[in-house]
Amino acid sequence: MKIAICGLGRAGKELLRTICDEEDISVVGAFCRLNSDKAGMDIGMLAKLNPMGINAVCVTEAERVLGEEKPDVVIDFSNPAATKMLLMACKKHNIPAVVCTTGFTEDEIAWMKECVYGEDFGIVYAPNVTVGINVLLSMLKSATRGLPYYDYHITEIHHNKKADSPSGTAKKIATLLERELHLEPDEKVPVHSVRAGGFVGVHEIMIVGEHDRITISHESFSRQAFAKGAIEAARFIRGQTGWHEMEDVVTCRENVIKVKV
Ligand SMILES: NC(=O)c1ccc[n+]([C@@H]2O[C@H](COP(=O)([O-])OP(=O)(O)OC[C@H]3O[C@@H](n4cnc5c(N)ncnc54)[C@H](OP(=O)(O)O)[C@@H]3O)[C@@H](O)[C@H]2O)c1
């Protein structure tokens, strides 16, 4: 599978390192910010690997590079402005994308959905691409069925350089809980955000009744958890069209495991 990457920050570089261990995947393009110092640099060197013979190119060049290199999938860990430019280029060439970038407005998410509607183009929108978080989401669905009258509180903890707050994952958890608990539109599940040191990502949900409490918590120990999930999503969306989320990727994975068993 041929992959192009957008965003060569902490997550993008980890993705590059993880892809190097996957025998059937090759990187054919990589995009950085306009006027970034990384433009023109070998991406292998950027990720502290051996040179890969591929230089980072500004995302403004995405349409040309995708047309020339024809990757099977593009994986995005960048910034909402870059993602928009990238998706327009992907759509032009019908190359599916895994969008792991966070911090989009509701309007931007609606725009992304419109991009795939009725088109020969597919997106996996993955504000948390970690497979473990997506299993946590299904655990929460059963918690809300058993404990609909308990109080639900979300705490998310990330490193002190994270740009958006609350995290995309915390928003996704809150939306799921509000839907499953049938809350009124003005009732919100509280989200507490902590930005400190080098935390990779913690999401903890406290479910509290008068006499007892359950805590469900997920912690990513390394960015490899994101990279592995993004690769799994890329394998899923390759050759597919339409709007998908990680739930679809995880369901597909569960079905494969059932068949194997
Ligand atoms: N879905 C998930 O599970 C998950 C997991 C981890 C991270 N993320 C998200 O992925 C994104 C990147 O995270 P990170 O930790 O790698 O952040 P980071 O280290 O700050 O890196 C951000 C990258 O985006 C690039 N960028 C910024 N603005 C840009 C623009 N306008 N055009 C093109 N590229 C631009 C930066 O380029 P320069 O280096 O050239 O400045 C940098 O390479 C964030 O939105 C983060 O929340 C999601």
Same domain, 16 and 100: yes
The DSSP bridge partners found for residue 193 are 156
Chain-centroid distance, C-alpha 2: 19
Q: Are residues 230 and 111 in the same domain?
A: yes
Distance CA 56, CA 66 (A): 13
- Residue 235's domain is classified under what CATH number? 3.40.50.720
For residues 98 and 154, state if they share a domain.
no
- Of the candidates 38, 158, 172, 228, the residue annotated as catalytic is 158
Same domain, 215 and 231: no
Residues 140 and 250 in one domain: no
**Residue-by-residue pLDDT tens, the chain, 261 positions:** 999 999 999 999 999 999 999 999 999 999 999 899 999 999 999 999 999 999 999 999 999 999 999 999 999 999 999 999 999 999 999 999 999 999 999 999 999 999 999 899 999 999 889 989 988 998 999 999 999 999 999 999 999 999 899 998 999 999 999 999 999 999 999 999 999 999 999 999 999 999 999 999 999 999 899 999 999 999 999 999 999 999 899 888 766 666 555
Give the per-residue pLDDT at 252: 80
* Catalytic residue flag (residue 244): no
Please indicate, yes or no, whether residues 63 and 165 belong to a single structural domain of this protein.
no
Q: Is 158 a catalytic residue?
A: yes
Let me know whether 121 and 60 are in one domain: yes
Q: Say which of 2, 84, 93, 162 is annotated catalytic.
A: 162
- Return the CATH number at 137: 3.30.360.10
Residue 247, pLDDT score: 87
Contact 28/72 with Cβ under 8 angstroms?
A: no
- Strands 122-125 and 242-245 come out as parallel
Measured from CB, residues less than 6 Å from any atom of ligand 1 are 7-12, 32-33, 36, 38, 59, 77-79, 81-82, 100-103, 126-130, 164, 226
Q: What angle do CA 144, 206, 150 make, to 5 degrees?
A: 45
Which ligand 1 atom is nearest residue 58's CA?
33
Per the listing, tokens 């009744």 go with 209
pLDDT at position 25, please? 97
Distance CA 135, CA 217 (A): 11
Ligand 1 center–CA 162 separation, angstroms: 9
Domain interval for residue 146? 131-220
CA distance 24 to 47: 19
**Closest ligand 1 atom number to CA of residue 229:** 3
Does 105 share its domain with 214? Answer: no
What pLDDT sits at residue 255?
67
